[in-house]
Structure 1
Amino acid sequence: MKYLNHFLRLGLLLIIVSCNRDKNNSNSYPQLLWYEQAASVWEEALPIGNGRIGAMVFGNPINERIQLNDDSLWPKNLGWDHPEGTPEDLANIRRLLVQGYHTAVDSLLVEKFSNKTVVRSHQTLGNLFINLQHDVATEYQRSLKLNEAITSVKYKFEGYKVTQDAFVSAPDQLLIISLKSEHPNGLNGIIHLSRPKDKGVATTKTFTKKGCLIMEGEVTQREGAFNSKSNPILEGVQFQTIVQPNHHGGTVKTVEDGIELKGVKEIELRIVSNSSYYHKNYKSENINQLSEVQNYSFEDLKGRHVRDHQMLYNRVNFDIITDNKLQTIPTDKRLKAIKEGTVDLELQETLFHFGRYLLIASSRPSTLPANLQGLWNPHINAPWNSDYHLNINLQMNYWLANLTQLDELNSPLFDFIDRLIINGRTTAKKNFGVRGSFLPHATDIWTPTWLRAPTAYWGASFGAGGWMIQHYWQHYLFTNDIEFLKTRAFPAMEAVAQFYSDWIIEDKRDGTLIAAPSTSPENRYLDTNGNPVASCLGSAMDQQVITEVFTNYLKAAKILNHKDNLIGIVKQQLMRLRTGFQLGSDGRILEWDREYPEYEPGHRHMSHLYGFHPGDQISLSKTPKLFDAVRKTLEYRLKNGGAGTGWSRAWLINCAARLIDGVMAQEHIQLLFEKSIFSNLFDAHPPFQIDGNFGYTAGVAELLVQSHEPGIIRVLPALPPNWKNGMVKGIKARGNIQVDLKWEWNELKHLQLISKSDTQTDIVYKEKNFRVKLKANIPYELKI
């Protein structure tokens, strides 16, 4: 009866909307977010971006706020030094660990090797305010077209139509806002820029010059901290933002710190913003960017922007075919209905596209990679500094890139990790006395590689480097780009393999090789005295990561015919590595080196399943016992409250896909929407973290197509039962093979493969296996 009531309410909404709304065709387009009121809080605003510049559009017709971001706005790199820890300290920690003094080891790891609490945050650029003399807006609608990357606001003032469109152009590197009014009195009001103060101190000055509104400033962090001590940072990246108005009808004039509109029929704001991080002469860069587009009309700029966006966005199409027309209901009302029990398949489809949209908007070549909040951050002191966490979050941000044919959007990630690897060589040598490169669990724009965090369970993580290197290898597998493997991937893989080769030690208990000290990201177990501790002798994740690093390093070396002494050493070490898949008494995979009591059995991280996903060390056909152990491990985690954050639930959906379990995936897709999605479809940790958005999109792709098993492409391996009819086009399988498929009533009806090279592969659908030979760029249709 409860679900019947929900559907009746939705049906009534459909009737009301159909009868009372003069809808555009776009309202029924499934790749659209739309609302009947302006955003009242930041999590309701709509995101746009070009990788470097981002904006959150609130759509308020009277006091419009457009919150602005630049991915490079950070306080200064003060050259903070490495902690004092030495190789001798590491040797002492290992002795204590072997003797079972885990609490002491946790303390020493922080005391000797961590810079403890560090506050140095990515910051907001500020806000653009458009204050118009409207009292009441009627017939209001705001929207975001994912396939065009344009936000729109439409309403009537005193019966006359007013519109606002906004987008951030990648080809022209500027934010464009267009406002039009059919009212006889036009648009009247004022436009101004501002930036939140840093602990009460202004960091910008705003003025007008040559008809433009200009804001200049420098990032500071008066609440900065280093080594758990107050450390105000009074210098940082410098920046300048220019608002250039172009209008038709009425008058536009600059006032002391704003732009005044009187009787304006149309106005276009061209906004450029550059920083000293990217350009020494960042102010000149702003002038150059405005000059380069001076001969382009709004429609020219819009067309260039849309073509650029669709060049990436249109590579994939995905449609869950239903008889429902819930897209005629505003997005926030649909989410409310979901939280009350409604199943909205079309919004599940939209969230998949939204993840692709967000990556296109937050990660472009020559920008910084998407951080914890992607590109969108309204704070001076952001949650978790809006930094780069390497113990799942940054990696999850990019799981979807190759799967959805957005290969080039990996470029900022590789550029960033390459810089980390350079600095990580210093950390490895100075602190640990080993070769190769060490990557920490968290870092920032300046790529320091020292440990940070006041506790061992949070910051003493040693598997991050191997996890990041997985992306280089996977990018090669998806693209078959041998030049990338040779010049970018292999040097990075070799640096991290060298570190782990020197890092591992012999476990005297059984003669195997282990990582020591070792932790499982952000989790703890109980020692014999009942105290929560983090350190152990070879956690499951670290052992799995090192196994993967060594295995892939050897594969890459063979492909490149690379000769080096390290190859022989790694081969021998790989044979002696303790497995990362030890089973406990109940058949679950152990998270640590022994079967300890768990401090938080429902922990959000599922790090001991790394080798299952995103790794490829477990499969139903090759390791059935471990495959079953994965399910037991997940069931136990969930029974104790696991997957409580948005990104954790998204990871679980990916695991359900690998378990070939569409029923499990269906359940957790619904729970993700019920518990962890804001009204603008941002993922809720809470607060907002973008990784869950990206992880969901990757998970949906894996429900439809999987290729992590060598030489095998699985189609519809974990189709949710309620996705009865649908199609997907453009999913990429490893080997650079595009997969297009259609299903009806949960059965595959059409499959087409397009390979970029001559190859052969096995296609697996349910219990059927087909060996197919593919010719380069010639579509191959498989008859089922």
Structure 2
Amino acid sequence: MKSLITAIVLFFCFSLHTFAQKSILWYTNPAEEWEEALPVGNGRLGAMVFGKTSMERIQLNEDSMWPGSVDDWGIAEGRRKDLEQVRNYLLAGDNSKADSLWVAAFSRKAITRSHQTLGDLWLDFEFDEITDYKRSLNLHEALATSSFLSEGHLVSQEVIASHPDDAIIIRLYTDHPKGFVGKIRLSRPEDEGFATAESKSIDSQTLEMAGMVTQRKGQIDSKPFPILNGVKFRTILIAESPDNEIGTGFDFLELNGAKEILLKLVTSTSYYNKNFESGAERSIELIKGKSWNDLVKSHVEDYQSYFDRMHLSLGNPSINEIPTDVRIKNVQSGQSDLYLEKLLFDYGRYLLISSSRPGSNPANLQGIWNKDINAPWNADYHLNINLQMNYWPADVTNLGKLNQPLFDFLDGVIYRGQEVAQKNFDMRGSFLPHATDLWQVPFMRAATAYWGGWIGAGGWMARHYWDHYLFTNDSRFLADRAFPAIAEVAAFYSDWLVEYPGENTLVSAPSTSPENQFFNEKGESVATTMGAAMDQQIIADVFTSFLEAAKILGSESRLRDKIEDQLEKLRPGVQIAEDGRILEWDKPYEETEKGHRHMSHLYAFHPGNAITTSETPEAFAAVRKTLEFRLANGGAGTGWSRAWLINFSARLLDGEMAHEHIQKLITNSLYPNLFDGHPPFQIDGNFGYTAGVAEMLIQSHEPGILRLLPALPKAWKNGEVKGIKARGNHEIDMKWENGQLSFLSILPGESQTLTIFYNDSETTIMLKKGERFGFEFDN
């Protein structure tokens, strides 16, 4: 490597003075809309803090607040003979009939069964002559605060969602002579006019709210299906004050001049605990009498054990003296804001820590933050990019442990998906649908073939198991969790494949490209074909990882032999059209939506790794043309789609392109609280952004290769990163000045021969497990 001075450093301290600069969202007005409120969460419990000066609203969430049960609905009635008829229609060129039968036989059509809000905590107090208002969210401490002066006296509120104490804690303080005067209430929205919870006071310091989740607007098979049962819950709130100025009413607590109040809220549900009523009581008893300082201390220590594993600085931007909503407006007017770009990166890590912890459910379409009874897209788990994107940043930003809820959840879906594979298709392995929910239902749910008639979900989720192994080199995880999951999906695909007409190749059929359609030879707008690009790419990816895992584990089987043969015969999923683009389907059909938000036919490029600049230069160039075509026709209209483009641009080694999409995401797709907008709010774009920034700084998807600052934009002239992870279980620190790498340090998790690429140079090094290597660059 040119201009490289190397030194092996066994004990090395990397001082990063700019990390003292805090990542804080802040505002000079209370939140009026939900998308302005600030989120806190402990993985399971969450809250949106408005910071109002009167009638404060803290909207509450819990991740298992779902209607129904695992036994509500069975799988569709289709059988193998129906599948064969769908395939016959495709062979005859009758895609429209194939679309119709595919859905009629194998889908439960449109489903409404939604994650729901837990309710609201209302703090009904008023102060006069408000000045000096400020509210903030400190990402280093996971602490939401608001403060103002009333007639010159301080009024403040601090909120945390503590994982160690499994509670939401609120501290109210004022030095105003009248103190806090007003009421504290708990409530939950009605379900189509019907009460969903009952709130009451238990004693002078305790409120409770108990109920059951229902969904009277539920539907199955695109028909109304009121859901009148669901998860049961009990929420308990206690108010502690040294002033003892708290009274009670039937369903409220009354504040009578207290100057300091500590509110502690816990929730227990029947999903996690069949004895949830007593479970809530035990939870509240454990934190009674604990001081604010003790609660905050354990909360911050726990949170920072995750957040502080990695740090990023983009130069030395100005002090954080501009409110966050103003920063967004400044970018919308054409300015660049390095602090906001770094803040948004940290925010993605903050949101993942706050919505996905071992023992919780995985982050859904809205993480855990949802104000509705009938949420957009059910706030469920979409497996055709959204759930995957939620976890893209986990391993690379040193939050690998937060994958556990994802794998726990997927293990259940894969187990249940065996029934679909066996009964619907008479095949081995497991089928995963494009969307599911808390109950891990495995059946296809789509009113139309293009919307959800897709078989690739299992393969895409299998990549997460494999990638986590690559990042950790955890052989036990590979043997006990990853390989069994990958094997189930691979077995299904092995039985699913059929011969492509006129060729001695194997394809997926019926096959679709998520949520997109094309015009067939008859001019019809259709979805199904034989061997759409994404299916072919995903199946190749699953087969490859299955064979590599089997080799590592020494697993011999007939399935392994069969898949080795099938992989050689698999029709290529990457085909380049005459115009230089990668085909989305098996033939150069015209898209019905040329600027579609999904770019599914680029799966092999990202998040896959079959297309690289070194191994497949022609396909690598075709990726750019494919993206240019999508964008020229209005693509990337959603926040998550724009976030995917940041990742694509980074893989293209194009820092300026990546930064352009960062600017556009901030300009077009952020709410004032930095939530990503589809619109409406979907959290995947936040996570996709964070993953994309990491991809701009480091890439390790090519076996044995590490790319340093592969897509560094000119705007990021100076910066440093500490604790970013590379596949191979390597932890990396870097610093760059004037656009040039000045320092590199690698802490290897495994011994490995690694080729490092930086700019136009490359060098091969030998890493020894546990021995830190330091490199200084003479620029």
Q: Distance in 2 between matches of 1:487 and 1:692?
A: 31
Q: Which residue is 2:254 aligned to?
A: 260
Q: How far 1:322 sits from its partner (Å)? A: 3.7
Q: Is 1:229–2:223 an aligned residue pair?
A: yes
Q: Distance in 2 between matches of 1:215 and 1:290?
A: 14
Q: Distance in 2 between matches of 1:30 and 1:641?
A: 37
Q: Is 1:34–2:34 an aligned residue pair?
A: no
Q: Is 1:682–2:675 an aligned residue pair?
A: yes
Q: Distance in 1 between matches of 2:342 and 2:25?
A: 12
Change in 2 beyond 3 A, CA 1:764/1:219: same
Q: Which residue is 1:22 aligned to?
A: none
Q: Which residue is 2:434 aligned to?
A: 441
Q: Distance in 2 between matches of 1:783 and 1:192?
A: 60
Q: How far 1:529 sits from its partner (Å)? A: 3.0
The within-5 A match list for 1:369-380 is 369-380=362-373
The within-5 A match list for 1:426-575 is 426-575=419-568
Q: How far 1:27 sits from its partner (Å)? A: 14
Letter in 2 for 1:156: L
Q: Alpha carbon RMSD of aligned pairs, Å?
A: 1.2
1:420-462 CA-to-partner distances (Å, cap 9, x unmatched) read: 0111000011111111000000000001111111100001011
Is the Cα–Cα contact under 8 Å of residues 493 and 549 in structure 1 kept in the other structure? yes
TM superposition score normalised by structure 1:
0.96
Q: Which residue is 1:135 aligned to?
A: 128
User: SS at 1:202's partner residue?
Assistant: coil
Letter in 2 for 1:100: G
The within-5 A match list for 1:9-28 is none
Letter in 2 for 1:339: Q
User: SS at 2:73's partner residue?
Assistant: coil
The within-5 A match list for 1:261-340 is 261-325=255-319, 327-340=320-333
Q: Which residue is 2:45 aligned to?
A: 53
Aligned length in residues:
758
Q: Structure 1: which 5+ residue stretches go unaligned?
A: 1-25
User: SS at 2:591's partner residue?
Assistant: coil
Q: Distance in 2 between matches of 1:634 and 1:350?
A: 27
Letter in 1 for 2:24: L
Deviates more, 1:333-342 or 1:344-353: 333-342
Q: Which residue is 1:598 aligned to?
A: 591
Letter in 1 for 2:78: G
Q: Distance in 2 between matches of 1:405 and 1:370?
A: 17
Q: Is 1:76–2:71 an aligned residue pair?
A: no
Q: Distance in 2 between matches of 1:607 and 1:27?
A: 37
Is the Cα–Cα contact under 8 Å of residues 19 and 313 in structure 2 kept in the other structure? no
> Deviating runs (4+, > 6 A) in structure 1?
none
Q: How far 1:293 sits from its partner (Å)? A: 2.3
Q: How far 1:776 sits from its partner (Å)? A: 2.3
Q: How far 1:135 sits from its partner (Å)? A: 3.1
Letter in 2 for 1:639: A
Is the Cα–Cα contact under 8 Å of residues 236 and 284 in structure 2 kept in the other structure? no
Deviates more, 1:763-772 or 1:157-166: 763-772
TM superposition score normalised by structure 2:
0.96
1:519-539 CA-to-partner distances (Å, cap 9, x unmatched) read: 000000012232211001000
1:574-625 CA-to-partner distances (Å, cap 9, x unmatched) read: 0000000011110100000000111101000000000000000011111000
Is the Cα–Cα contact under 8 Å of residues 27 and 328 in structure 1 kept in the other structure? no
Q: Which residue is 2:684 aligned to?
A: 691
Q: Which residue is 2:384 aligned to?
A: 391
Q: Structure 2: which 5+ residue stretches go unaligned?
A: 1-17
Q: How far 1:28 sits from its partner (Å)? A: 9.8
Letter in 2 for 1:59: G
Change in 2 beyond 3 A, CA 1:410/1:711: same
Q: 2:237 aligns with which of 218, 240, 243?
A: 243
Q: How far 1:29 sits from its partner (Å)? A: 4.2
Q: Which residue is 1:655 aligned to?
A: 648
Is the Cα–Cα contact under 8 Å of residues 243 and 270 in structure 1 kept in the other structure? yes
Is the Cα–Cα contact under 8 Å of residues 429 and 490 in structure 2 kept in the other structure? yes
Is the Cα–Cα contact under 8 Å of residues 128 and 151 in structure 2 kept in the other structure? no
Q: 2:207 aligns with which of 196, 208, 213?
A: 213
Is the Cα–Cα contact under 8 Å of residues 317 and 338 in structure 2 kept in the other structure? no
User: SS at 1:248's partner residue?
Assistant: coil
Q: How far 1:373 sits from its partner (Å)? A: 0.5
Q: 1:154 aligns with which of 127, 136, 147?
A: 147
Q: Distance in 2 between matches of 1:189 and 1:783?
A: 62
User: SS at 1:215's partner residue?
Assistant: strand
Is the Cα–Cα contact under 8 Å of residues 213 and 254 in structure 1 kept in the other structure? no
Letter in 2 for 1:96: Y
Letter in 2 for 1:309: Y
Q: Distance in 2 between matches of 1:672 and 1:428?
A: 39
User: SS at 2:466's partner residue?
Assistant: helix
Is the Cα–Cα contact under 8 Å of residues 62 and 135 in structure 1 kept in the other structure? no
Q: Distance in 2 between matches of 1:695 and 1:168?
A: 24
User: SS at 2:314's partner residue?
Assistant: strand
Q: Distance in 2 between matches of 1:571 and 1:249?
A: 74
Is the Cα–Cα contact under 8 Å of residues 22 and 140 in structure 2 kept in the other structure? no
Letter in 1 for 2:384: N
Q: Distance in 1 between matches of 2:738 and 2:523?
A: 53
Q: Which residue is 2:10 aligned to?
A: none
Q: Which residue is 2:605 aligned to?
A: 612
Q: Distance in 2 between matches of 1:394 and 1:220?
A: 24
Is the Cα–Cα contact under 8 Å of residues 250 and 263 in structure 1 kept in the other structure? no
User: SS at 1:243's partner residue?
Assistant: strand
Q: Is 1:742–2:728 an aligned residue pair?
A: no
Change in 2 beyond 3 A, CA 1:359/1:656: same
Q: How far 1:99 sits from its partner (Å)? A: 0.8
Q: Distance in 2 between matches of 1:647 and 1:48?
A: 22
Q: Distance in 2 between matches of 1:93 and 1:673?
A: 44
Q: Distance in 1 between matches of 2:730 and 2:616?
A: 26
Q: Distance in 1 between matches of 2:99 and 2:317?
A: 57
Q: How far 1:250 sits from its partner (Å)? A: 5.2
Q: How far 1:777 sits from its partner (Å)? A: 2.2
Change in 2 beyond 3 A, CA 1:191/1:29: farther
Is the Cα–Cα contact under 8 Å of residues 650 and 699 in structure 1 kept in the other structure? yes
Letter in 2 for 1:485: L
Structure with bigger RCO (C-alpha 8 Å, 6+ apart):
2
